[in-house]
Amino acid sequence: MVLIFAGTNAASGVCKAVVFATGMTTEFGKIADLTQNMVEVPSPLQIEMGRITRLVSAMAISMGVIFFVLAVLLAHVNVTESFIFAMGMIVAFIPEGLLPTVTLSLAMGVKRMAKRNALIKRLSAVETLGCTTVICTDKTGTLTQNEMTVSDCWMVNQQMKVTGVGYAPEGEMLSGDVPISLAENSDMRTLLVAASFCNNSRLLPPSPEINHWNILGDPTEAALVVAARKGKIDLDQELKFSPRLRELPFESQRKRMTTIHKVAGDRSGLEKLAYIKGAPKEVLDLCSHYLNDGEEVAMDGEIRKKIMAANDDYARKGLRVLAVAMRRLTKDMGLPERLSDYTPELIENNMTFLGLTVMADPPRVEVAAAVKKCHQAGIKIIMITGDYGLTAESIARRIGIIHGAQPRIVTGVELDEINDADLKKALSEEIIFARVAPEQKLRVVSALQEMGNVVAVTGDGVNDSPALKKADIGIAMGISGTDVAKEAADMILTDDNFASIVNAVEEGRGVYNNIRKFATYILNSNVPEAVPFIVFLFAKGQIPLPLTVMQILAVDLGTDMIPAIALGVELPEEGVMQRPPRSRKEHLLNRPLLIRAFLFYGIMEGAIAMSAFFFLYWQNGWPGVPMADSGEIYRMATTMTLGAIVVTQIGIVFNCRTERASVFKVGLFSNHMILIGIVCELTVFSILVYTPFLHAIFNTAPIGLIEWAYLFMWVPIVILIDELRKAFLRYWDRRRLQKKTEVMKGES
């Protein structure tokens, strides 16, 4: 029976067909249904932003209520003014710029990733990449170059080397070091003709558009066509005399394909030839004979062992091996008259084994370094491939995915038989999945997620889409991937290269760190905005209010915004890929960040703001003269409070660029956006100070050079104080690492 699947294209010809399934009942529809019915889990960042919203809202409202009560009871302020104070506190504690700066930081991350061959479809996926703990990756084309070259042809009675690389049909056939001609070696010629007939790829010569040999079709099949061309076989002429009559397509369950051809010179049409190629073990199980000097000799156990030993030997070298066989189909076999009735069960038996074709698909040059970077970053890599286990192990060992002497290799058959508990136990060790069907990836991904991992998975086929959808980060191949896979994925690799995934993870970690940086920057200014209210309340009206509600809004919605955005475009810090992934349970606003923002930066900035307020009154006779709560002097004093917050934030924005490293190491002026942000910040402040009609709105007044000098005096002081803190933390980190090393040496 011939089936036509929804979603496929007819290259040519016409036919009549009976429709027995439509819509979601087709194979295509079943996959789509499986994908659509998955519950989409919020990303770690989405969960965290929800938590931050609840936390900050509760904190702001609580502070507003507390200050309202204190203003009425302690400072004896009337209810209306107390309500305004309460609103001021709520405004002070809500970081209005947090959400837009998070969005912009993610968008900038997307832009940088696109330059590094990773297209992000879902914005929150940028940050999720940063906490990835496991990457499940294909082998062919992702870890390897996917430019197959036949290096050897092996038959029971002989072996042949094939020279040349790439798709150019330039090379020689060598027996030892001696060139041979296929015209004089009928067995080897039969092997290459069979491999090229059982094939759907074409070799394309150089053209004005593409100035090198290229292929149309699967690279593995194309390599066989190239090998035949190197052997001076005219495939067009051969197919003219032996045209294809029928194809039994490759299926991942069968791991082989078969084509049926007319026999050259047979005018009766009663004799046909079936050629088969596929996984060596699966093809060998169908063979009862083997070709030896033109004769079909009965297969015995020793020959089978010899063939599989050769296969395993090549596979251990990381080479890809396909077996090729044939069968003569004659009238006396009782085969159906109609070719459409030919099935694998009828044709694929009593085959004659021809030989093995051996292909090299070297790892991509940059992959080994990318794998090493992943391991340093605490990310586990699991290879899931349809290839032979020993081939997969060899490639995995060469690029550093595995290091142990005996890694666990689980085949698709074993995966179906293993229970979930044993699978999770196996996933904790070094493991490779080989001869695995694409749909089996879904089970592996689900098991890893149940173990608490953040999983990224690669895929290119329609059957990969459920796993891509299920994964925390689904990664589709931009070159070889199907539209269905790309639709299900969160990220598309434009170069199909594993190294691009690692680059994206690095960018993801950088984006998360940037979010922490500008969260620290935005939150710390809440304290100096609140301190003036606290001073006013506890002074019971003896000290006028040092900061107005409108001035708070000027900071939160004006002067702070652009420097905060500039922190969102910081490049990833050095060493970001030498730390383990952050846990899903780790909060964005964790204890160290809150201590740094509120208790260190916040209190320091609050003290500086109040010192600026008192400095202005001191210049005008205080404490000998009472503090005026209105007029020019009062407006100048509140302007100094506002100016101290604005100018001190210049020092804070430099401090927030790194968590532990010295800001001088990354370059004080290396982020040009910060410099632009500082200019904008000072421009906005100057407009508020020197524009007359804004004075009444924002309660500001012009200040002189002495006041400006006093404000800018604090910028280097703030930076140097934080440099001392960072130096202490670096020293403490070194001490802890040293002690840990000593303990490990003592235990060994």
Q: Which of 618, 522, 513 is nearest to 569 (CA)?
A: 513
Residues 748, 738: Cα–Cα separation, whole Å = 15
3-state SS class at 275:
strand
Q: Degrees (nearest 5) of the Cα angle 318, 321, 326?
A: 175
Residues 432, 412: Cα–Cα separation, whole Å = 11
Q: Which residue out of 33, 138, 490, 733 is catalytically annotated?
A: 138
| Strands, sheet with 491-493, edge to edge from the N-terminal-most edge strand | 118-120, 491-493, 473-477, 455-459, 134-137, 380-384, 431-434, 408-411
Continuous H helices in 539-602: 549-554, 561-567, 591-594
The two tokens of residue 210 are 């593409």
Continuous H helices in 428-554: 441-450, 465-470, 483-488, 498-524, 526-538, 549-554
HSE of 12, CA atoms in CB hemisphere, 13 A: 0
The DSSP secondary-structure symbol of 438 reads G
The two tokens of residue 212 are 């090198």
3-state SS class at 262:
strand
**Taking the CA atoms of the chain, what radius of gyration do you get in angstroms?**
36
3-state SS class at 382:
strand
How far does CA 73 lie from the centroid of its chain? Answer: 56
Q: Which of 104, 101, 106, 103 is nearest to 561 (CA)?
A: 101
- The helix (H) or strand (E) run that includes residue 171 is none
Q: Calculate the alpha carbon distances from 508 to 109, 387, 488, 566 in Å.
A: 7, 31, 20, 17
Instruction: Give the burial class of 104: count Cβ atoms within 10 A of its Cβ; 0-12 exposed, 13-18 middle, 19 or more buried.
Output: middle
Q: Calculate the alpha carbon distances from 721 to 642, 709, 727 in Å.
A: 21, 19, 10
Residues 448, 436: Cα–Cα separation, whole Å = 17
Helix axes 367-376, 498-524, angle to 10 degrees: 40
The DSSP secondary-structure symbol of 45 reads H
Q: Degrees (nearest 5) of the Cα angle 715, 717, 722?
A: 100
Identify whether the C-beta of residue 370 lies closer than 8 Å to the C-beta of residue 297. Answer: no
Residue 138 bears catalytic tag = yes
HSE of 556, CA atoms in CB hemisphere, 13 A: 25
**Phi/psi of residue 275, nearest 5 degrees:** -115, 140
3-state SS class at 17:
coil
The single-letter code of the amino acid at 582 is: R
3-state SS class at 236:
helix
Q: Between β-strands 380-384 and 408-411, what pairing exists: parallel, antiparallel or unpaired?
A: unpaired
Q: Which residue is it, tokens 């659509």? A: 36
Residues 658, 143: Cα–Cα separation, whole Å = 34
Identify whether the C-beta of residue 611 lies closer than 8 Å to the C-beta of residue 532. Answer: no
The single-letter code of the amino acid at 334 is: G
The region, left, alpha or beta by phi > 0 then psi within -120 to 50, assigned to residue 124 is alpha
Q: Which residue is it, tokens 């030892």? A: 176
Catalytic residues: 138
